[in-house]
A and B are shown apart, each in its own frame.
Chain A
């Protein structure tokens, strides 16, 4: 718990020591990651207006066209139904990122709230929440998602739900640990003496101290959500096939691997580059906020 404690309050002093040494490498990481993520977010937002074609429009005269190059009409080629790959990728980025953001925010909200409650109150509440954490954590990742999706059926909302079920756990665990030490700090005691309610203490004094670490967990949760969404869609239990996402595009491409290389290449490349960007950003953020996590190689 000692390191958790220092993580929040000493980070201000740590920063001045760490900055000069890490600056160049951090800059490269943060910059590259930031640019990649920003580009995909912008594409996701303005996507529909820059996509050259309707992503679901089937053009039977232009089926399976190989990539024509920049500037041509189907620059990344078309699929087995004559749909434009570039347009589908652009629309797909919107859905993929939307799912990932939703998962990160909802699971962050649940995880931080339950973690703070668990750590602050302790006792029976803590015991129950930690048992829940233990049970969910006992499932191999992805397997729970597959099982839930098979039960709920395909759909965006269901998918977000299935991913959230496991992704609030890391937040909850780390936040609980931090809250346990924050609870006994002087500023909490002071607030209690001044008559603040438990709710006020948690929302005003505890949670603001947890934001930095949660941000780091959030970036890694985002990366894993994108991959998980694609994996589930690829297996046919994620996003419904009529919505273009990178995962459903890969699922469609599976049977044409040997005949049309461009079908699996581009959507997969998008997943890879986006996740790489988020991981770079997460790494940089973690190095900046807590050099200790980097040194111990802790995987969140």
Chain B
């Protein structure tokens, strides 16, 4: 098991190297001059040359890449052009918001999808199954950003129930500790801020989680259907267990293995989905930061964010492979 993980880890390195090269060359070949965008059109040639020298843009591309690689290995992605701060610090201030949003999206999706999926799978072709299946299909067919707009329109615009942008109402938050706003507020026992934070996170998390909800519901349902036909379920029934106990204890515990896998796999989709949902809700996370950085041609920042997302994605996949063995003892590497 350990040797397998090491092997996988070693196999990941060349992949990461290739990705870094791909991202670096893509971004540097992009049209649009960052110096012009940042300094404005009226700057003279000498100033541009000085800025280029400061940012190392006057050197040949391969020198820039090698420099980038050496620094990146030490966790240094250079300084952001726009924010004039180390990229890693800029990302650090925005990442907690994205993680918080993703965690809430997963919680909402799982809380709704798993019970619905179990119920639908336990009673195939019943009204609840039809309802659940339709709902699941709607979930996977709904573009998250459109759902986000519709939620804003309905719940915030017409009914005026929930806030539509940002993480909190101005001035309500206590001092920042970890950057995880809700976590901080709970630790500080600042309950109005917790409630305020929850009202802010609900809509974006729902919009982000809807896709996962649909997929999870479908996977849970089919997994339950499959387990229902197993012999040990017949045995449980023959023992005289009530159907409710059979479904929730015997079937569900066995059917959840593929569900856990799907949660892990969908995390990657969730990460990239957050880019678009964050933009709609003006959520101050790393996804909306990427769009800002792209528009400003902030090379180091874009590279940093793309690499962070990719690293997270690769790490998640690695962890899922490891989890397989933990969850299902039949799998051995």
Contact = CB atoms under 8 A, between A and B. Distances in A.
Contact of B258 (A140, A146, A227, A297): A297
B205 interface: no
Given A223-B141, A230-B143, A234-B145, A297 B291 contact: no
B29 to A, nearest CB: 6
A231 B143 contact: yes
Contacts of A150: 26-27, 30, 294, 302
B275 interface: yes
A124 interface: no
B223 A235 contact: no
A279 interface: yes
Contacts of B22: 135
Interface stretch (A67-75, A102-110, A186-194, A270-278): A270-278
A147 B23 contact: yes
Interface residue SS majority, chain B: helix
A275 B142 CA distance: 8
Interface stretch (B85-93, B149-157, B179-187, B232-240): B149-157
A149 B16 CA distance: 21
Interface string A274-294: 011001100100000000001
B107 interface: no
**Most chain A Cβ neighbours within 10 Å, of B22, B221, B226:** B22
Interface residues of A, number: 45
Contacts of A177: none
A296 B149 CA distance: 34
Interface in A219-244: 223, 227, 230-231, 234-237
Contacts of A142: 272-273, 275-276
Contact of A141 (B26, B222, B258, B269): B269
Contacts, number: 133
A279 B269 contact: no
B112 interface: no
B276 A235 contact: yes
Contacts of B215: 299
A299 B276 contact: no
Given A146-B275, A250-B146, A257-B152, A138 B140 contact: no
B128 interface: no
B109 interface: no
Contact of A297 (B150, B153, B222, B310): B222
Interface string A251-268: 001100110010011001
Interface string B266-306: 00110111011001100000000011001100000010001
A133 B136 CA distance: 29
B143 A271 contact: yes
A153 B297 CA distance: 12
A17 interface: no
Interface string B190-225: 000000000000000000000000010011011101
Contact of B309 (A143, A280, A297, A299): A143
Interface in A140-167: 140-143, 146-148, 150-151, 153
Interface residues of B, number: 57
B26 A264 contact: no
B15 A138 contact: yes
B246 interface: no
Contacts of B275: 142-143, 146, 235
A147 B290 CA distance: 10
Interface string B239-279: 00000000000000000001000100000110111011001
A141 B138 CA distance: 21
B310 A139 contact: yes
A8 B279 CA distance: 44
Interface in A28-78: none
Given A147-B306, A235-B291, A276-B137, A135 B143 contact: no
A271 B30 CA distance: 30
B276 to A, nearest CB: 6
B84 interface: no
B51 interface: no
B123 to A, nearest CB: 15
A151 B150 contact: no
A153 B306 contact: no
Given A138-B314, A140-B313, A151-B26, A231 B276 contact: yes
A297 B218 contact: yes
Contact of B153 (A153, A236, A257, A294): A257
B13 to A, nearest CB: 12
Interface string B4-35: 00000000001110110011001101110000
Given A138-B19, A146-B294, A250 B141 contact: no
Contacts of B219: 297, 299
Nearest to B157: A258
Contact of A153 (B31, B143, B152, B312): B31
Contacts of A153: 31
Interface of B: 14-16, 18-19, 22-23, 26-27, 29-31, 125, 137-138, 140-143, 145-146, 149-150, 152-153, 157, 215, 218-219, 221-223, 225-226, 258, 262, 268-269, 271-273, 275-276, 279-280, 290-291, 294-295, 302, 306, 309-310, 312-314, 317
26 contacts: A138-B16, A138-B314, A139-B310, A140-B310, A140-B312, A140-B313, A141-B269, A143-B275, A143-B306, A147-B23, A147-B26, A147-B302, A150-B27, A151-B26, A230-B143, A230-B145, A235-B276, A237-B294, A250-B145, A250-B146, A257-B153, A272-B146, A275-B143, A295-B225, A296-B258, A297-B221
Q: Which 8 A-B pairs have the closest CB atoms?
A: A268-B146, A297-B222, A142-B272, A276-B141, A275-B141, A140-B272, A151-B30, A297-B219
